[in-house]
Every structure is written in structure tokens, then in C-alpha cells.
Structure 1
Amino acid sequence: MLSTSLLLSVLLILVVGKALGIVAEKVGMPSLVGELLTGIILGPVALGIIQPAAAGAEDPLRFLADLGIIFMMFLMGLSIDIESVFKTNARSATSITLIGAALVFTFSTAIMAAVGMALGQDIYFSVLQGLIIGIGLTSTSTVIGFRYLTDIGDRFSNVFKTLVAVEVTDGIFSIMALAVLLSIVGVISTASGSAIDTNGFMSEIGWSTFKLFLLMLGFIIFVIKFGGVVTDTLLGVSRKSGGEQSSQAIITLSLIVLFGVATMSDWLGLTYVIGAFLAGAILAGSPYTSTVIEPRIKAIGYGLFIPIFFAYTGISMDFGALLQGPALIVPGGIHLPLYLLLFAGLLVIVMGGKYIGTIAGCALSGGYKDNEPRRIGFSLMCAGEDALVIGGIGTSVLLNGSPLVTSELLSIIGLVVLVSSLIAPILIQRSFRDQDYSPPIAPRTKQSLGGKPKGRVKGL
């Protein structure tokens, strides 16, 4: 039910978030930094104007934030154009993603599990926390790299093409890993903690994961193969309406596909997040995606729901607990807060792991010269907004009555995103200024020679 407080909260989030988002973009950072700061400023950390609802209580603002997650995953699916992207960069993008993700995932899980056990948590719970945080932090924000390359007029270099491809492979890896993890959580949540047989338990997890893989594979094939045919047919019928009515019909149909596939996915136990991503993938190849669907869905998502999600994430952060929580006592009687150490460790792991993974992936795939691997590495060092999305999902996943991602852990994830967003632009600029650099010009086409164009160039 709408209330004055809810309307006021939405108003403040949109006004302050837009202002801070513009400021963030002016200084070369993604707008999500400003939207996160909006939540921190309006939330209990600073002004306390907006308060998150108590655990278990109904929170309409959280509902709007969850819709932001759905729209983000839908837009991620819409951006997946595997056939065109992977014609020239498949091997390098896959190598960079897998090596970097393996480093970040492994060490993030290890340090989170160690800290969790130091806090007195159950080993299974601590490991699962590490897994979901590790999966979230494997995602990369390419916004800063794209922004810098676009500003200097570089949209045709090997660096730019690789960033586009890695954005796709990162998204696929994150969504698949998240689906497997949620399946494992389902197995553990139904097991009795006092009667867990390790061998049988691991066997059950393996079998459950294998069934999930088959289910996902079958679901993806069915949805992409038959859903795409049905969708294209319906979109063709909608087009006959003509004019603005045609565009409205296409958007309505796109939303029907989004919530229909999300509902089906959740019913099958794959979660609505997977369904929202697949719904976008269904429509990615539509002739109306770049001209009608994506621009208008972005207007809906980034105009309302997604800023609310990032702001709500900032509202849910609890920085005081990071300093007041359990501490590690080192020689000299110095108390080092465990959560603060966890933040520092995750920041180093994320930025270092992605950079090393990029250098190794470029060397393995070959085809790069001069400082290209270094520039790509610095462009991929920023933790992505998907980390916050996955962290937000983790706050609603309960295991033995406790959320998998607590407010303290969500605060740490947010800090990693913020700090890496501040450091990455500096390193990117230095990597391009260390020697004379001239952006490559656009390839010559019939259009540039005075002939008729064969087709439009799809932008980001």
C-alpha cells in the first residue's frame, strides 16, 4: 500500500540519486557510485531519513529494489549478443574471465570462510557466505573502461573489443555460478545439521548440481529455441499496429516475456533471477531490441527501479559494525577489526586477481601487443554492479533462519565496489599516458566511400 513516507522516500532517492549520479559521471565514475552514496546519506549511517524495515517485516521499498534486480538481469540478457561478439574475441575473453574469476573466487571464498570461522560461525555457513561473495566479486564493471575509451575516441581497438566480449563472458559465468550455488543452498537447508554425513552430503550436492545443470540446459534450449520463435512472431504481429501503438505493444510483450519466464524459472527452482536473464537473452536477437526494447526498458529500469535498488543497498549498509565488530589482537595490543581486514583483503584479491587473470589470459590466447594487456587489466579491475545484485540476493537467502549475506557483508561488498571505482580510473589513465597513443580509426566501409551502407553498426 502506498503511503506518504514511501512516496517521500522514492522522491528523495530519485532527486538526490540523480544529482550525485551526474557528479559521479563528471569525475569519470559510474553513476551507481552516486546512487550508492545516496542510500548511505539518506540511510541510518548519515541523516537517518530512510530506515530499512526490520527483519521479516514487509518493506515496500525493498519490493521496488527487488524489481530493480529483475530489470538489471533482464538488461544483462538483452546485451548478450554471443554470435557477433565472439567472432574475433571468444578465446581471449573466455581465458580472461575464467582465469580472473578462478583467482577471485578461490581467494575470496577462502578469506571469507576463515573470517566466518573466526567469528564462531558453522563451517558450512562460512563457506557458503564465501561462495556467494566470491561469485559476486567475479563480476566486472566495464563502465569506467568504456567511458575512458569513448572519451578518447577509441571504439575500434583490440582493447575495446576485448572489453565488450569480457562483459558477456563475465555475465554468463556469474549467472551460471549463482544458479549452482543456490541449488547447493537448497540441499543444505533441507539437511539436518546434526546428522550430516560428509560423503553422503557431498554426493547429494553433486547429484543436485548435476540435475540443476541438466534442468538449466534443457530450460535454456527450450526457451531460446522455441521462445525466440514465438516471441519474434508476436513481435511481428505487434508491429502491425503501426506508429507509437506498435512500440507500446512491443514493450508490453517484452514485459510479459520477462515476468512469464521469471515466473516459470522460479517455479522450476532456478530462481526468478535466472529467468529474468534468460528472458533478455530470448529478445537479444530480435530486430526491435536495439531500436525499441532496450532503450525503453533502460528508461524504465534506470529511470526508477535500478536507482532505488542501489540506494536501498546503501541504506542497508552498516559501516559502524565494521569497526565495532570482533577484532584481531596483534603484538603491541593493537586491535584490528576483522571486518575491516576482510574488506582490505577482498579489495586486494578483486583488483589483483582480475589484473593477473587478464595478463595471463591475454598471454594464453595471444594476439595482443605493446601495452594492450595492461590496459585491459586496469579496465577490468573495478568490481561490477552485479556484485551488489548478487549480494542483495544473498540477503534474502535464509539458512537456518539467518541471511546468507548480512548487513556487514553487504557493506563490505559496497565498499569494494566504491573503492575499486575510485582507483581504477587513475590506473587506466596512466596506462594510456605512459606513451604516445593514437586511437585506431573506424574501418573503411561502403558508406565512408560514398556508397550505400550495408547495415547499421550496433553500439553499446
Structure 2
Amino acid sequence: MHAMTPTEVFLLAMLIIFTVPYLVWRVLRTDYWAPLVVVQIIGGILLGPGVLGALYPDYYATIFTPATLGSLNGVAWWAVMMFVWVAGIELDLGEAWARRGETGVTAGLALAVPLVTGSIAAVLMLRLPGWQGPSGATWQVILGIGMACAVTALPILVLFLEKLEILRQPIGQRILRYASLDDIAIWGVLALILLDWERVGRQGGFLIGFAVATILVRKLMARIEERDRWYVSLIWLAGCGFAADWAGLHFMVGAFLSGAVLDGKWFTTAKMDQFRHFVLLAVMPVFFLSTGLKTQWAVGGYAVFGAAALLLVASVGGKLAGVHIAGRILKWRPGEASAIGWLLQTKALIMIIFVNILLDKTIITNETFTALLLMALASTMLTVPMVSPKLRRLGALVGR
């Protein structure tokens, strides 16, 4: 029998990654309640060590070898860096500042309340062993889980707003403003969690060097043509990712910052949309499936599912409560807070990136990661079915 070469094994894994989730999504028509990205992550869970690896260990060991997983991780790292970089560019901080009163109240409460409820859930989880990683202090685990419950995934939110045909409508732009501040907050919290006093000199040096380099890059970007800006931006992305990782802040912090300091007006909207969709189509499936491959159930499946259910209640309930409080303060019309609260439930990307980093740094365990991943999937799958009828009943809201 012919022994497959490493290249053949890698390509077979890629064939599985792109074929299986797509067929499930297309044949079963799951798009309403489970978009393709969710199906891809679920596919990774089913193909991972906890399910396929347990049922067919020989098959799993043949396809997902350490060399193959290493290659997939390399593709996934670059894919998600590009995706987060685009998310950083699309932050409209100028508009958020112009409407800072309303935006600050809504975004602040939509973040703070689920952060508190998620942290309470984390405290309850930590009463049992198996959730705290070997390198994680208790405060890091609690803050990390709380933030995971609070964040809204801006890139997935954009896809959902496009699907609901409200992305360019006033309500869509309002919701993007609220989510944008959440996106900034999660990277700030991540930097705090990863702050390493033994390497604080490096981290300070990175921030100073980044500030100086940003001034130079912005001057350069303003003077060159758009076709050159794309290439220069990718060089800037790789450099920031390397520098942030060298400093101990993780390459994803650098990736987000590299996009956040660039002006969206330097890139045409159509080309930015095309680039985001290309990354999502061509390389992000590798990240989504490799994320699912990290799931573990060593503390017991029931315990993981129980923790996921607890986190889902804390996340969804906290987000809805925070937005409803904001609605009362700002005197929104009846039903408006509910629709906006459900649209801010999308988590399956930025949150997954966030908890991937916590897992890589062994702050949380594979079981905690699995519970958070299941919570993110459930929260994201609930968004469109819950908000679609609300938007139909509140037709006038779309234009407000």
C-alpha cells in the first residue's frame, strides 16, 4: 500500500476542510440558523480528537498528523491576522467620537454588564478543578472568561448585517459603532492579561516603537496609490505581528493595532469588501476547522456542556440586560433595545481568536476553551433567528 507523502496528507486535510462543511451547509440549507463559518467550526469539533479521534483514532492519526497540524496552523495564523487587520481598518472611530454620548452609554453597558455576569460564571466554574490553565492566575482566568462573554465579533456582525440587508442603513451603522468599542476593549483586556512584568521593558519598547512607526507609515500611506497601499499594509501587518509577539503581547494584538491605525478612507469600500470575502472564502476555513480541532472533553462531556450552558446564560442575559438599561437611559422606542441586543450577540470569531490566545498561553485549559467555543457557537446561531422577526415588526427602526 502506498504511503502518503506529507504533501498528500496536507492536501487531503485541505480537501476535507473545504468539502465537508460546505456540503453540510449547502445540502441541509443551514444558513438561516448556522452560517457557513459556524458549520466549519462545528466540523472541526466533530473531526477533532474528542469525537473523530475517539471513534476512529487510527484514521485521525493518519490525517491530522503533527506535521499536518503545524502546516494548517501556519495558514490559520496568517488568515486570522489578515481578517483582524481588516476589522481594525473598518473601525470608524471618528463617527464613534462624533456620537460619543449615545455610543459610549450603549457600548459601555453592552460590554460591562455581560463582563460582570460572565465573571460571576467564571467564579462558579473555578470552584471545580479542570478549568484554570497551569500558567493562568485566577484573576486572568476570571477576566478572560468574563471578557469572552461580553465581546461582540465585529467581522461576523458585518456578515450578518449584510445578510439582513441593513449594513448600510442607519441602524446597521449604529450597531457597528457599539461593536467597534467592544472590539477595542477586548484587545486592551488581552494586553492587560498578557502583561508580563519580566518582559515589561520589551512591551514598553514595542508600544513606543509602534507609535513612532505608525506616524511614518501613515505619512507614507497618504502619499502612495491604493494599489501600493495594499502591499505596504501587508508588510506593516507582518511586522507589527512579529514585534508584538516578540514583546510577549501576542501577534494578534499587533495585527489588530496595525489595522486600527490605518484610515478606512485610504481603501475603496468595494475592494475592502472583496478582500474580506476572499480571506473568508479562501483561507479562514482553515482557521475555523483548526479551532474545532483543539476541543477536548477530558473533564467529562457533561461538565463541559454544563459550563457552556452557564456561560451562554451569562453572555446572552448580560448583553440583553446591558442594552435594555441603555435603551431606558436613552429613551429608545419599545422593542429597539431587544433587536439591538440580539444583533450584538455574535461571537464566533473575535471571541474565538481571544480564547485561542488564552489557550496558547495556557491561561485556560482545553476544557474551558471547549465550553467557551460551544457558548460562542450557540450565541451566534441564535442571532439571526431571534432578530429577524423583531426587525420585521420594527420596520421604521431600520431608518433610525
1:19-30 map, 5 Å: 19-22=23-26, 26-30=31-35
Query: Cα 1:292–1:440, aligned 2, differ >3 Å: closer, same or farther?
Result: closer
Q: Deviation per CA, 1:389-442, whole angstroms, max 9, x where unpaired?
A: 111112211xxxxx2232211211121112122333332134335x46356569
Counterpart Cα distance in 1 of 2:217 and 2:145: 32
Q: Does 1:317 find its partner at 2:295?
A: yes
SS, match of residue 370 in structure 1: coil
- Structure 2 residues not aligned, in runs of 5+: 54-58
Deviation at 1:260, TM superposition (A): 1.6
SS, match of residue 80 in structure 1: coil
| Structure 1 counterpart of 2:182 | 170
Counterpart Cα distance in 1 of 2:36 and 2:271: 23
Deviation at 1:114, TM superposition (A): 3.8
The residue type equivalent to 1:288 in the other structure is: F
| Structure 2 counterpart of 1:362 | 327
Deviation at 1:11, TM superposition (A): 1.9
- TM-score, normalised by the number of residues in structure 2: 0.82
SS, match of residue 122 in structure 2: helix
1:142-161 map, 5 Å: 154=166, 159-161=171-173
| Structure 2 counterpart of 1:437 | 395
| Structure 2 counterpart of 1:232 | 222
Deviation at 1:340, TM superposition (A): 3.3
| Structure 2 counterpart of 1:413 | 372
Counterpart Cα distance in 1 of 2:397 and 2:255: 37
| Bigger proportion of residues as helix | 2
1:54-203 map, 5 Å: 59-88=70-99, 90-119=100-129, 125-141=137-153, 154=166, 159-183=171-195, 186-187=196-197
Query: Cα 1:382–1:155, aligned 2, differ >3 Å: closer, same or farther?
Result: closer
| Structure 2 counterpart of 1:450 | none
Query: Cα 1:374–1:220, aligned 2, differ >3 Å: closer, same or farther?
Result: farther
Deviation at 1:75, TM superposition (A): 1.7
| Structure 2 counterpart of 1:305 | 283
Deviation at 1:375, TM superposition (A): 1.2
Counterpart Cα distance in 2 of 1:296 and 1:83: 23
Counterpart Cα distance in 1 of 2:394 and 2:270: 37
Contact residue 157 and residue 440 of structure 1 kept, 8 A:
yes
Query: Cα 1:379–1:259, aligned 2, differ >3 Å: closer, same or farther?
Result: same
Deviation at 1:220, TM superposition (A): 5.9
Deviation at 1:164, TM superposition (A): 1.4
The residue type equivalent to 2:35 in the other structure is: P
Q: 2:305 aligns with which of 340, 357, 372?
A: 340
Q: 1:258 aligns with which of 232, 237, 244?
A: 237
* Cα-Cα RMSD: 3.5
| Structure 2 counterpart of 1:334 | none
Query: Cα 1:302–1:58, aligned 2, differ >3 Å: closer, same or farther?
Result: closer
- TM-score, normalised by the number of residues in structure 1: 0.72
Counterpart Cα distance in 2 of 1:109 and 1:33: 25
Contact residue 355 and residue 369 of structure 2 kept, 8 A:
yes
Contact residue 107 and residue 181 of structure 2 kept, 8 A:
yes
- Structure 1 residues not aligned, in runs of 5+: 192-207, 240-246, 325-336, 398-402, 443-460
Deviation at 1:172, TM superposition (A): 0.6
The residue type equivalent to 2:333 in the other structure is: K
| Structure 1 counterpart of 2:20 | 16
Query: Cα 1:256–1:216, aligned 2, differ >3 Å: closer, same or farther?
Result: closer
| Structure 1 counterpart of 2:56 | none
Counterpart Cα distance in 1 of 2:159 and 2:275: 22
Q: Does 1:295 find its partner at 2:305?
A: no
Q: Does 1:31 find its partner at 2:9?
A: no
SS, match of residue 118 in structure 1: coil
Counterpart Cα distance in 1 of 2:160 and 2:273: 23
The residue type equivalent to 1:39 in the other structure is: G
SS, match of residue 383 in structure 1: coil
Q: 2:353 aligns with which of 389, 399, 410?
A: 389
Query: Cα 1:257–1:24, aligned 2, differ >3 Å: closer, same or farther?
Result: farther
Contact residue 113 and residue 123 of structure 1 kept, 8 A:
no
Q: Deviation per CA, 1:174-213, whole angstroms, max 9, x where unpaired?
A: 1111111110xx24xx69xxxxxxxxxxxxxxxx69x96x
Counterpart Cα distance in 1 of 2:325 and 2:184: 20
Q: Deviation per CA, 1:249-271, whole angstroms, max 9, x where unpaired?
A: 44332211111222233334433
The residue type equivalent to 2:70 in the other structure is: D
SS, match of residue 119 in structure 1: coil
Deviation at 1:346, TM superposition (A): 0.7
Counterpart Cα distance in 1 of 2:68 and 2:348: 29
| Structure 2 counterpart of 1:271 | 250
Counterpart Cα distance in 2 of 1:218 and 1:368: 42
Contact residue 144 and residue 425 of structure 1 kept, 8 A:
no
Deviation at 1:385, TM superposition (A): 1.6
Range with greater deviation from structure 2 (41-50 or 214-223): 214-223
Range with greater deviation from structure 2 (173-182 or 418-427): 418-427
Contact residue 38 and residue 314 of structure 1 kept, 8 A:
yes
Deviation at 1:108, TM superposition (A): 2.3
Q: Percent identity?
A: 20
Deviation at 1:312, TM superposition (A): 0.9
The residue type equivalent to 1:344 in the other structure is: A
Rg (Cα) greater in structure = 1
Q: Deviation per CA, 1:98-133, whole angstroms, max 9, x where unpaired?
A: 223222223323332442342176896343222222
Counterpart Cα distance in 2 of 1:127 and 1:24: 42
Number of matched pairs? 386
Deviation at 1:382, TM superposition (A): 3.5
Contact residue 392 and residue 410 of structure 1 kept, 8 A:
yes
Counterpart Cα distance in 1 of 2:39 and 2:16: 13
Deviation at 1:58, TM superposition (A): 7.4
